[in-house]
Amino acid sequence: MFGQFGWHALTLLLIAARWTVLLSALAFALGGLAGFAVALLRTAPSPVSRTLTAAYIEIVQGTPVLILLFVAYFGVALIGIDVPPLLAASIALTIFSSAYLGEIWRGAIDSIAQSQWEASESLGMTRWQQLRHIILPQAFRISLPPTVGFLVQLIKNTSVTSLISLVELTREGQLIANATFRPLPAFVAVALIYFVLCFPLSRFSQSLESRLHVGRQS
Amino acid sequence: MYQFNFTPVFHNLPKLFTGALLTLAISSLAILLGFAVGVVCALLRTNGPKPLRALVSIYVEAVRNTPFLVQLFIVYFALPTVGIRLTAVEAGIVAMVANLGAYAAEIVRAGIDAVHRLQIEAGAALGMSRLQILRHVVLPPAIEAVYPSLTSQFILMMLASSLLSAISVGELTGVAQLLDSLTFRSFEIYFVVGVLYVLITLVMKAAFQAIGFASFKRWRRLGGANLVFAPLQRFRRLLTNGRSA
């Protein structure tokens, strides 16, 4: 890799891309769990939980990922442990995705007609049964395209973790750019790898959306 | 036990405000230019000649499927190797405009697609030229329809401007990093900066609401009610579990 951008550099990038994928998957799984809780609390009957989760979403969506990352990085350090960047990155990205996924799923739940709630209530269902059997299955279908779309945003946002020296795809690209003095091929290769990860998902999200619209019109 | 100490942060608040002003200035410029690029690209993609449509599609997909940080690095670190030298602020603005332009193009295109064909035919029947139709019949309702998505994209762009600190621009996050290395009060600084970003977001949301109110007749016809009572109603719905339809 000294002075040359070749196969070796490309291999290094692909190895680093594993961290990008792993981090995205981790943040999506954990953020999904937390986001599900956020969505349920945001649509719960209690005004307290609705207001608190609304505030949570507003605050997280009003803060850059980079600042979330720094707050997580230096916040965890306050406990006095040496923070591995991966831990800080996972925490920050989990918080980030919990707010966005929570808001997406809140929208899906709210878009279910009020009559569905009333009909299931008149059948004597408890709130949990209503959610489990009537509301969530319908909301799931609606929320699928934006959820996949958000996954693309999440993968792209993992690049921010390079700024706390987590050696994922973008950081490795920087290292290679510095070592070879050829930033153009290095960063273009990085961009291409991101594109290969994201483009199929973007397309998938679009096709899900058009399928959903076809289903509605018939 | 860690002792929180916010005094160094408050002593440096003026510096943070200067950074926040630069964030606002850079974001405003990028939003104006990016929106213009987006509208032109959306028009080209829907009404332009075939090869241009393909070109615009490639631009939009390339930008939307790669991280902003990498785009920024390409503009700032890679373009000089092919002879295009920009200062950090210029590179940041160029990257932001290119990024926002692609997203805005996609959003505005959705709005254009939503305009009914009969409207366009009616315009043609009145003897309007193609350009007049686009300017007077297609664009106004298209932009009004997608205005909410457009403004949330603008706000995401303002938040993403924090990444400009990675190429040494002294905007809000850049100032924060400088103060961090001077005072070592990392957590306190980034916490306060986070609060400042939330404030900027809220101010921008209000500003976009006001701009929408000033630009769209329909909003005005609905009266000030839309501006004042809509949040109130939203709050009431929040309290009543959304069941006071």
- For B197, the closest of A63, A163, A195 (CB atoms) is A63
Closest-CA residue to A170 (of A180, A178, A160, A179): A160
Model pLDDT for residues A50-78, shown as the tens digit of each residue: 999 999 999 999 999 999 999 999 988 88
pLDDT band for position A5 (cuts 50, 70, 90): confident
Q: In whole angstroms, what is the distance from residue B201 CA to residue B207 CA? A: 10
Please tell me the number of Cα atoms within 13 Å of B240 on its side-chain side.
Answer: 10
Residue B29 confidence (pLDDT): 98
Contact criterion met (CB < 8 Å) for A194 and B239: no
Positive or negative, the CA dihedral B66, B70, B75, B78 is negative
Contact criterion met (CB < 8 Å) for A67 and B190: yes
Q: In whole angstroms, what is the distance from residue A14 CA to residue A51 CA? A: 44
Is A118 an 8 Å CB contact of chain B?
Answer: no
Contact criterion met (CB < 8 Å) for A187 and B82: no
Model pLDDT for residues A170-208, shown as the tens digit of each residue: 999 999 999 999 999 999 999 999 999 999 999 999 999
Q: In whole angstroms, what is the distance from residue A24 CA to residue A38 CA? A: 19
Query: What topology is assigned to B8-239 in CATH?
Result: MetI-like fold (1.10.3720)
Positive or negative, the CA dihedral B229, B231, B236, B241 is positive
- Residues of B in Cβ contact (< 8 Å) with A190: 70
- For B74, the closest of A158, A160, A188 (CB atoms) is A188
Contact criterion met (CB < 8 Å) for B74 and A199: no
Amino acid at A4: Q
Model pLDDT for residues A124-162, shown as the tens digit of each residue: 999 999 999 999 999 999 999 999 999 999 999 999 999
User: In the structure encoding, which two tokens stand for residue B36, read together?
Assistant: 């213009």
Sole residue written with tokens 């609060």 = B195
Report the complex ipTM: 0.92
B125 burial type by CB count under 10 A (0-12 exposed, 13-18 middle, 19+ buried): exposed
Q: In whole angstroms, what is the distance from residue A146 CA to residue A108 CA? A: 10
The interaxial angle of helices B139-160 and B88-114, nearest 10 deg, is 150
Residue B219 confidence (pLDDT): 78
Q: Average of pLDDT values for B130-136? A: 93
- For B82, the closest of A71, A177, A184 (CB atoms) is A184
Q: Which domains, ranges and CATH numbers included, belong to chain A?
A: 7-217 (1.10.3720.10)
Restricting to A residues 59-98, those with a Cβ less than 8 Å away from any Cβ of B are 59, 61-68, 70-71, 73-75, 77-80
Model pLDDT for residues B186-226, shown as the tens digit of each residue: 999 999 999 999 999 999 999 999 999 888 888 777 765 55
User: What distance in Å separates residue B23's CA from the closest CA in chain A?
Assistant: 12
pLDDT of B229 over the 60 cut: no
pLDDT of B1 over the 90 cut: no
- Residues of B in Cβ contact (< 8 Å) with A23: none
Residue B138 confidence (pLDDT): 94
Mutation pick from A159, A171, A175, A209 vs chain B, by most beta carbons of B within 10 Å, is: A159
Model pLDDT for residues B18-52, shown as the tens digit of each residue: 999 999 999 999 999 999 999 999 999 999 899 99
pLDDT band for position B235 (cuts 50, 70, 90): low
Task: Check if the beta carbon of residue B66 is closer than 8 Å to that of residue A156.
Answer: yes
Cβ within 8 Å of residue A176, ≥6 positions away: A1, A5, A9, A12, A13, A186
Model pLDDT for residues B100-123, shown as the tens digit of each residue: 999 999 999 999 999 999 999 999
- For B69, the closest of A78, A170, A202 (CB atoms) is A170
- Output the CA torsion B105→B109→B111→B112 (10° steps): 130
Task: Check if the beta carbon of residue B155 is closer than 8 Å to that of residue B204.
Answer: yes
| Mean pLDDT over each residue of chain B, to the nearest integer | 90
Model pLDDT for residues A8-57, shown as the tens digit of each residue: 899 999 999 999 999 999 999 999 999 999 999 999 999 999 999 999 99
pLDDT of B243 over the 60 cut: no
- For residues A7 and B56, the model is more confident at B56
Nearest chain B alpha carbon to A59: B198
Amino acid at B45: R
- For residues B3 and B235, the model is more confident at B3
Query: DSSP alpha helices (H): ranges in chain B?
Result: 7-11, 13-47, 50-64, 68-73, 88-114, 117-125, 130-132, 139-160, 172-183, 186-215, 217-221, 225-239
Cα-based distances in Å from B79 to A194, A197, B73, B158: 19, 24, 9, 23
Distance of CA A146 to the CA centre of its chain: 11
Closest-CA residue to A91 (of A161, A151, A39, A38): A161
Contact criterion met (CB < 8 Å) for B194 and A63: yes
